[in-house]
Amino acid sequence: MTAAVSLENVYKFYDKRPVVNDLSFTIETGEIFALLGPNGAGKSTTIRMLTTLTKPSEGRLEVGGYDVINQSMLAKKSIGVVLQQVSVDGDLTVWENMELHGRLHHIPNPQRKQKINQWLEYVELADRRNDLVKTLSGGMKRRLQIARALLHQPQILFLDEPTVGLDPQTRRRLWEIIRDLNKQGMTILLTTHYMDEVEYLCDAFGSAKPGRIGIMDSGKLISLGTLQELRSTYGEGLVMKQVGVNQVEGDTANSWEYLFFPTLAAANDYLEQQQNKTGMMVRPSNLEDIFVELTGRRLD
C-alpha cells in the first residue's frame, strides 16, 4: 500500500541555514500522526512543504502518492488543510464560505449543495448557515474551517494547531470530531503544543491502532513512535526530586530533577532505598516529561 505521506532526505535552507535537516518519515493511510517540536524546530516549515506552500531545497515529498513538486495540483486535490490562523471570510455567511470553496474545487451541483449540508451538519453548524462568519465564536469558526477542508473529500487532513486559544469544552468537541474522522479512515497529520491533545488523539482507545508521535528539534526528527513505545524507550516511571529554588520573573519557583526508570515499580524501589526522601515523589511518566527530556525545554 502506498504511504499517505512520505518524506525522504528533505532539507529546507534559509540563508544557508537548514531549517529542516535531512528529514525522513512516512505516514500510513488511515493513520493519525502528531508532529511535535519547540518553536523553531522546523515543523511548520515541514507542513508548508507538504501542503505545497513552500518548495523543499532538497529531497522528495509525496502526498497521496503524488510528488508535491512535479504533481502539485494532484497533491492539492488529495489534501484538506486547517491552519492555526482563521482563514474563513468574516463578511460572508457560513453557507457562502462553503459555496465559494466548493466552486473553487469545481464540485458541481446538486452534489455541492448536498456536501455542504452534510458537512455543516457534521460540525453542528447547519443552524448557523445564514449567519455572517464574523458573528461566530472562535470554536465555531474552527469547526467551519474543518467542514470547508472536508468539502472536496480529501484523503489526508492537515491540522496546524487546531485548538489553540479555544476553551476546554470546545477543544474537547474538536478532539471528538478529529478522532471520529480518523475512525472513518481519514489520514490526519496534526501539529499542536498541547500534550494532553496528543495523548488523547493518539491513544488506541476506539481505534484499530494507536497514532504515532514524531518529535522534531533543530530541523531533525529525534524520536518516533506511539506513546507507549516512547514511554517504554525512555521510562514508564519517574522520580521527581526537588533540587533548589529558582527566581523566575521576580517569583520563586521550585527546580526539579527528573529521573526516568523502566517501570513505575523500579521508580518506587529507588525511592524506598533513599535515606532522605524529602522533596521526592514518584509518578508515571507522560508525553511532556519525555518531550522535555529529549529537547531540554518546554513548548512555548
Please report, in angstroms and rounded to a whole number, the separation of the first and last CA atoms in the chain.
37
> Could you state, in order of their start, the residue ranges of all structural domains in the chain?
5-232, 236-284
pLDDT of residue 300: 46
Q: Which residues contact 25 (CB under 8 A, 6 or more apart)?
A: 7, 214, 221, 224
- CATH architecture of the region 5-232: 3-Layer(aba) Sandwich (3.40)
For residues 161 and 191, the answer to whether their CB atoms sit within 8 Å is yes
The pLDDT tens digits for 88-147 are 999 999 999 999 999 999 999 999 999 999 999 999 999 999 999 999 999 999 999 999
Nearest CA among 37, 34, 39, 42 for reference residue 17: 42
pLDDT of residue 1: 60
- Evaluate the CA torsion angle 227, 233, 235, 236 in order and state its sign: positive
- With both helix axes pointing from N to C terminus, report the angle between 227-234 and 287-295 in degrees, rounded to the nearest 10: 60
* Cα–Cα distance measured from residue 184 to residue 247, given in angstroms and rounded to the nearest whole number: 49
CA-CA distances (angstroms) from residue 55 to 50, 69, 257, 276? Answer: 9, 7, 42, 57
Nearest CA among 217, 228, 245, 234 for reference residue 289: 234
**Helix (H), strand (E) at residue 177:** helix 168-183
**Helix (H), strand (E) at residue 35:** strand 32-36
Residue 107 is which amino acid? I
Rg of the chain over Cα atoms, rounded to whole angstroms, equals: 22
* Cα–Cα distance measured from residue 233 to residue 290, given in angstroms and rounded to the nearest whole number: 10
The pLDDT tens digits for 152-209 are 999 999 999 888 888 899 999 999 999 999 999 999 999 998 999 999 999 865 556 7
For residues 206 and 183, the answer to whether their CB atoms sit within 8 Å is yes
The pLDDT tens digits for 7-56 are 999 999 999 999 999 999 999 999 999 999 998 899 989 999 999 999 99
